[in-house]
Structure 1
């Protein structure tokens, strides 16, 4: 029984890896389930057995991308002991990861289009936005942030980061745009310092 579960998990991982590559390069609309199955050395039936539909496969890939980005935010933020630096490092990590070629199309373009805004936003809330809320709440509880709604601040900052990522993804000089964005985010957050 253990071997069957290991085989199933290996099959799912292989499908997710192949699907991520196809969704990154071709986009959701142009990705072919037949090609995905062939490249993963599976039948379409096996693909449908594990995911049910192309959309469900895409959702699994997007969840994986969102989870990776959230891990990166946590890792980068943890490189500092200063809570303000942690917050800024986490913001930078989110935007940097979102605009990487292997994430950009899945996360920023096809994600909201395929899932719809509400479902896409719900996934964001479970990952990066959850971390942002936790950091801001901790900072307020420890007296680093003044009396402001953490819900409102989280959603405002998350919206700014998502919109900045979309803008940066479209610019020719993404490094300059990232630096400009982080300067603005830093100025914005300084207004909440206690």
Structure 2
């Protein structure tokens, strides 16, 4: 005799909370990308997420807070892609090149450049968006430069990291604006090679 399947355990409050939060973030992203922050309303996000406006304000203080969390997820995704592309077996120089390529590829995800490099600074301000970056992609770049160059050189790793980070962001913007991805990537990695004082053996002219 076949016993009936046991009833499924109801989802815990925590699981329901996480599911609602995830749905709101997933619904908000395409709206912020497609319409921009200013033209996106919280009722729109709630409807797209299949929940209530009250639920949105239970999870996020306001629209700006929701936007901040969307950007945080995007920045973490970029960081994760960089880490995945730089396994422990690579040399410090190889890791910088691989990480740079991974950054540009990660930023090519539709809407990501607009969110992190255009809308983000305009809505959150330069200081807040810099803090998000510094705990994600910029942190990996800083660590990579410190490993490749060392801390006894006559250059500030902090300053160099910020300058190269700005160059990578500009490269991502150039690609997003329609520039040839391969040409831009080759130029950016050429710059990294020259910064490391290495011959152009990794980056081939295209």
**Counterpart for residue 61 of structure 1:** 70
Counterpart of 2:145? Answer: 136
The correspondence for 1:180, drawn from 180, 187, 192, is 187
- Aligned match of 1:37: 46
Please tell me whether the aligned partners of residues 132 and 154 of structure 1 are also in contact (alpha carbons under 8 angstroms). yes
- More contact order relative to length (CA 8 Å, sep ≥ 6): 1
Shift of 1:103: 1.0
Which has the larger Rg? 2
Say if 1:164 and 1:181, in contact at 8 Å, map to a contact too. Answer: yes
- The answer to whether structure 1 residue 83 and structure 2 residue 92 are counterparts is yes
Matches within 5 A, 1:86-105: 86-105=95-114
Match of 2:120 in 1: 111
2:19 maps to 1:10: yes
- Relative to structure 1, the CA distance from residue 4 to residue 58 in structure 2 (aligned partners, 3 Å threshold; closer, same or farther) is same
With 123-132 and 76-85 compared, the bigger mean Cα shift is at: 76-85
Cα deviation for residue 22 of structure 1 reads: 1.4
- List alignment gaps of at least 5 residues for structure 1: none
In the alignment, which residue of structure 2 is the partner of 1:171?
178
Hey, what's the Cα distance between the residues in 2 that align with 1:79 and 1:166? 30
Aligned to 2:158: 151
Q: Does 1:189 align with 2:202?
A: no
Offset of residue 44 of structure 1? 0.9
2:36 is matched with: 27
Mapped partners of 1:140, 1:166: distance in 2: 27
Between the aligned partners of 2:55 and 2:115, the Cα distance in structure 1 is: 23
How far 1:45 sits from its partner (Å)?
A: 1.3
Structure 2 CA distance, aligned partners of 1:189 and 1:129? 17
**Pair 79,105 (structure 1): closer, same or farther in 2 beyond 3 Å:** farther
- Aligned residue for 2:12, secondary structure, equals helix
Partner SS state of residue 185, structure 2: helix
Cα distance in 2 between the residues matched to 1:146 and 1:3: 54
What is the CA-CA distance between 1:80 and the residue it aligns to?
A: 5.4
Structure 1 Cα separation of the partners of residues 74 and 59 of structure 2:
19
Distance of 2:84 and 2:194 partners within structure 1? 23
TM-score (norm 1): 0.87
Measured on the aligned residues, the alpha-carbon RMSD in Å equals: 2.2
Partner secondary structure for residue 90 of structure 2? coil
